[in-house]
Amino acid sequence: MAALGNPALWGVCGRGWSRAKLAGRLPGLRSSWPRGPVGVRPLSQEKPATETHFGFETVSEQEKGGKVYQVFESVAKKYDVMNDMMSLGIHRLWKDLLLWRMHPLPGTQLLDVAGGTGDIAFRFLKYVQAQYKGKQKKQLRAQQNLSWEEIAQKYQNDEDPLGGSRVMVCDINKEMLKVGKQKAQAQGYKTGLAWVLGDAEELPFDDAKFDVYSIAFGIRNVTHIDRALQEAHRVLKPGGRFLCLEFSQVNNPLISRLYDLYSFQVIPVLGEVIAGDWKSYQYLVESIRKFPPQEDFKEMIEDAGFQKVTYESLTSGIVAIHSGFKL
């Protein structure tokens, strides 16, 4: 895909994406972006603000994006360490499992939305590289009578160890992307990876561009989940797959009690002690309770046009992986 292959196009790009659109979603830009007279509505005709939730708080839809932005701007630097501490590393297993379910083959073009600090993207690159190496080894083993020079040459000629696979990380938050890019550099991920600032509700990509769309712990934060799902459907190629890892509904009453206790009594305290940020971690646990349970979310995915929608509950339903296809 041209946009993925050409680093010059790896900025904010694509379909109708503009600073003006971003301005509506990012708090800093919203107030400063000038509006022409055409957009001005007389006070008496002000459209009533539609309400939504930000955790357990009721806010207007216009406010929510800015509040979510502030949460991730505030936690970005401590985000990774917080996740390991809060989950005792379990989030890594959930993310690994997402990759096993995705099972990307060499050549896969992945869009990881709300990709934050790159956890899914890095796993994807590791996975496709391992797949490609495995395939190459198999081929070499099948060619019994190659000399060692021929074998060495085959390894050296290997221009693209990803076999053409690419991942595009898209996130609305500059600070999260900044941490992700620093991690990529520190961990030596150079090729096959691009970072784009963009909104899940209005993706800056043309139609039918990607083989797989993933979103991990992201969709819960989006103001209009239905719009994000429609966008996922739009940017996938026919035959493409949607995969979502998200907190869900615990299905065991005893675990549910313990889980609530841990969530409300421990998580915000950890947030305060480690990240100096109680409120963001209170938002995390509250937003989990506001997210639809497995079956309801499955229906929402179907409503967006996906087919063969299934889900798998993990760790007693603390999280679930939903999958659907654009057919």
Ligand X SMILES: COc1cc(O)cc(C/C=C(\C)CC/C=C(\C)CC/C=C(\C)CC/C=C(\C)CC/C=C(\C)CC/C=C(\C)CC/C=C(\C)CC/C=C(\C)CC/C=C(\C)CCC=C(C)C)c1O
Q: Mark the binding-site residues, compressed into ranges.
A: 117, 171, 199-200
Closest to 61 (Cα-Cα) out of 48, 44, 78, 72: 48
**Which sign does the torsion angle of CA 258, 261, 267, 273 carry?**
negative
Amino acid type, 208: A
CB 301 within 8 A of CB 242: yes
Strand partners for 57: 54
Q: Which of 223, 280, 282, 323 binds ligand X (CB under 6 A)?
A: 280
274 is a site residue for ligand X (CB under 6 A)? no
CB 102 within 8 A of CB 131: no
Strand partners for 54: 57
User: Distance (Å, rounded) from C-alpha 304 to C-alpha 315?
Assistant: 27
204 is a site residue for ligand SAM (CB under 6 A)? no
311 is a site residue for ligand X (CB under 6 A)? no
Q: Which of 176, 243, 304, 309 binds ligand SAM (CB under 6 A)?
A: 176
Select the binding partner of residue 121 from ligand X, ligand SAM, none (C-beta < 5 to 8 A, by kind).
Answer: none
| Residue with smallest beta-carbon separation from ligand SAM | 116
116 is a site residue for ligand SAM (CB under 6 A)? yes
How is residue 195 written in tokens?
């970072």
**Which sign does the torsion angle of CA 128, 196, 285, 52 carry?**
negative
Using CB under 6 A, which residues numbered 47 to 106 contact ligand X? 71, 75, 79, 82-83, 86-88, 90-91
CB of 120 to ligand X, least distance (A): 10
What crossing angle do the helices spanning 79-87 and 61-75 adopt, rounded to 10°? 90
315 is a site residue for ligand X (CB under 6 A)? yes
72 is a site residue for ligand SAM (CB under 6 A)? yes
CB 25 within 8 A of CB 65: yes
242 is a site residue for ligand X (CB under 6 A)? no
Which residues bind to ligand X, rule: CB under 6 A? Answer: 71, 75, 79, 82-83, 86-88, 90-91, 217, 255, 258-259, 261-263, 265-267, 280, 283-285, 288, 315-316, 318
Which residues bind to ligand SAM, rule: CB under 6 A? Answer: 68, 72, 113-116, 119-120, 171-173, 176, 199-201, 216-218, 221-222
